Amino acid sequence: MNKDEFLRLFEKTLEIEKNLNGDEELSSIDGWDSMAVLGLIAIVDSKLQKEFDPASLSTTITVNDIWELINELQNS
Amino acid sequence: MIYSKISDISSYFPQKILSNEELSNLFPEWDISKIESKTGIKERRITEEGETALNLGVCAAQKIIDKNEDLKNEIDGLLFCTQSPDYCIPPNACMTQKILGLRQDIPATDYNLGCSGFVFGLSLAHGWISSGICKKVLLITAETYSKYIADKDKSIRTIFGDGASATLVEATNKKKIYEFSFVTDGSGAMDLIVPSSRIVKNKYSISDFPQFFEYGRTLNNIYMDGPRVFQFTLRCVPNLLEKCLSKNKMLTDDIDFYVFHQANAFMLEHIRIKCKIPNDKFIIDFEDIGNTVSCTIPIALKRSIEKKIIKKGQTVFIAGFGVGYSAAATIIKI
């Protein structure tokens, strides 16, 4: 999964219209809630067949931070 | 060989409705359409003060007995699944025996399980029947999680509804309830918990367990780590399906319908895809009642049979999973 693919899937999860570029702060995104975390888990499960640890989100501030976690996971 | 079968299912709900509109008024930052699209729930039934799981369970059971008064003397086993019993002591099952006027020479017990509770209870009823202890077991599931939910805990309030089911399980000479598969994993105990009781008090401080105190919760309120419960489900359910099918020497094509615990629409859809279950074989029926914990499977079964979606003679795979962690699955013939 590349970053662009992730961003489009993440937009779908968040049910937002605008195109994310990754620099957005999570706290400023409408729809960033516990259901969106389930969405992230589902994206990683279906695309990478790996488990995404929701505890790792405690250090994330932007969408890019989440992408880095996911990218690390897919390269591990 | 004595086999067992489900011969009747009833349900009962409290009158009071909590709609998405009301939730949206309480939490204006939430968009109503998003609540529905993400959870698959439009409204849930909520008990009033004083209305309890015992009341709901008895009302569900009474609906079955009203069809045939002889059942009062024929029911020779009673199981009551709840995590919100009226009292710690005595069990709801004993009080239910008295209220329904059932025989006194029967085994009756409560058991404490959540979303896996119906299938687990079916295994107990099946065991009582196939071992010759009972011939007709009344299996009640009744839950009132709303009483544990903090007023400001919006994510949990959108999911859970109160309700009850009663299922009559009886002896038969044909195999109608097949082999069971189970998962028990206590490592997830803290992920769905009411962290205080009369026995365990103030064990968890806000500094060590801040999550128990978010959204206005106290230790007497229910806490759910939704993402972790979801992860358990993703790990557990595909394996449970495979093991149960293989134990019964069946393939996915042998199953006419799948009735999984109706947790929330998002979770169900993802699991359905992961388990490669066709959409038209996968029952989802809870938009007007929410996640009623141990009651979702019998209610969805009952409704699907009434709507003639599931027909007599068809083979149905049922699976419950959640709090504990605990999961159970089996295959039934309608």
Specify the pLDDT at position B255. 98
Which residues lie across from B168 on neighbouring strands?
B8, B138
Catalytic residue among B59, B115, B236, B275: B115
Specify the pLDDT at position B141. 98
CA pair distance B59, B164, nearest whole angstrom: 8
The amino acid that residue B319 corresponds to is: A
Specify the pLDDT at position B154. 86
Interhelix angle A63-75/A34-48, rounded to 10 degrees, is 30
Residue-wise pLDDT tens digits, B206-251: 998 989 999 999 999 999 999 999 999 999 999 999 999 999 999 9
- Does B266 touch chain A if contact means CB atoms closer than 8 Å? yes
Closest chain A residue by Cα to residue B274: A46
Handedness of CA A66, A70, A71, A73 (dihedral sign): positive
Residue with tokens 């002896």: B171
ipTM for the complex shown: 0.87
Taking the mean position of all CA atoms in its chain, how far away is CA B15?
19
Catalytic residue among B261, B264, B275, B295: B261
Q: Which residue of B34, B228, B235 is in closest CB contact with A15?
A: B34
Torsion of CA B187, B191, B197, B199, to 10 degrees: 10
Q: Give residues with Cβ within 8 angstroms of B241, minimum separation 6.
A: B275, B317, B319, B329
Specify the pLDDT at position A13. 87
B:21-60 residues touching chain A, CB 8 A cutoff: 34, 37-39
Specify the pLDDT at position B31. 75
Specify the pLDDT at position A4. 92
Specify the pLDDT at position B54. 98
CA pair distance B297, B211, nearest whole angstrom: 30
Specify the pLDDT at position B28. 84
Handedness of CA B277, B280, B283, B284 (dihedral sign): positive
**Chain A residues in contact with B39 (beta carbon < 8 A):** 35
- Does A15 touch chain B if contact means CB atoms closer than 8 Å? yes
**Chain B residues in contact with A33 (beta carbon < 8 A):** 155
**Chain B residues in contact with A51 (beta carbon < 8 A):** 231, 234-235
Specify the pLDDT at position A40. 93
Best A13, A38, A49 residue to mutate vs chain B (most B CBs within 10 Å):
A38
- Does A5 touch chain B if contact means CB atoms closer than 8 Å? no
CA pair distance B137, B111, nearest whole angstrom: 15
Q: Give residues with Cβ within 8 angstroms of A20, minimum separation 6.
A: A7, A10, A11, A63
- Does A38 touch chain B if contact means CB atoms closer than 8 Å? yes
Residues in chain B, pLDDT under 50? none
**pTM exceeds 0.90, yes or no:** yes
The alpha-helical segments, DSSP class H, found in B30-175 are 32-39, 53-67, 71-74, 92-100, 117-130, 154-159
Closest chain B residue by Cα to residue A40: B227
Give percent of chain A above pLDDT 70: 100
